[in-house]
Structure 1
Amino acid sequence: MHWSSVSDFFAMGGYAVYVWGSVLACAVLILGEVLVARAGRARAWQRVRDERALGEQGHD
């Protein structure tokens, strides 16, 4: 598709609501996935630290 101006680009041939809505939905979902993955990673590392601390307590 060829746009003659920036406003034509953002209008997306009259489908801007659908196009930009889809882009926004995908961006939100990707951001959510990144945040969930980071939280899971932090929980896993905390579990490792907790288990390591329990193991060190058992050797005293």
Structure 2
Amino acid sequence: MDPTISVIFIILAFSLGLVLVMKKDTIPAPLKKWMAISSLVMILFAFFIIIYSLLKLGT
């Protein structure tokens, strides 16, 4: 796995989550639900990548 791509994905996932939290009042309700779900999935996958990278670091 290319570490550059992983770092870019992690930064983008957390940035999307931060933007959704900061702009939650201006996003339309139907769009807000799906964006929140997709952001949550991306953040969980980013945590998985971080943990996988840390475990792989030891080998």
Instruction: Provide TM-score, normalisation by structure 2.
Output: 0.51
Distance 2:28 2:40 in 1: 18
Runs of 4+ in 1 over 2 A off after TM superposition: 6-9
Q: Which runs of 5+ in 1 are unaligned?
A: 1-5, 45-60
For residue 52 of structure 1, what is the aligned residue in structure 2? none
The alpha carbon displacement at 1:16 in A equals 1.5
Q: Which runs of 5+ in 2 are unaligned?
A: 1-22
| Pairwise CA RMSD | 1.6
Max radius of gyration: which structure?
1
Identity %: 8
- Once the two structures are superposed, the pairs formed by residues 1-60 of structure 1 within 5 Å of their partners are 8-9=25-26, 12-14=27-29, 15-42=31-58, 44=59
The alpha carbon displacement at 1:7 in A equals 5.7
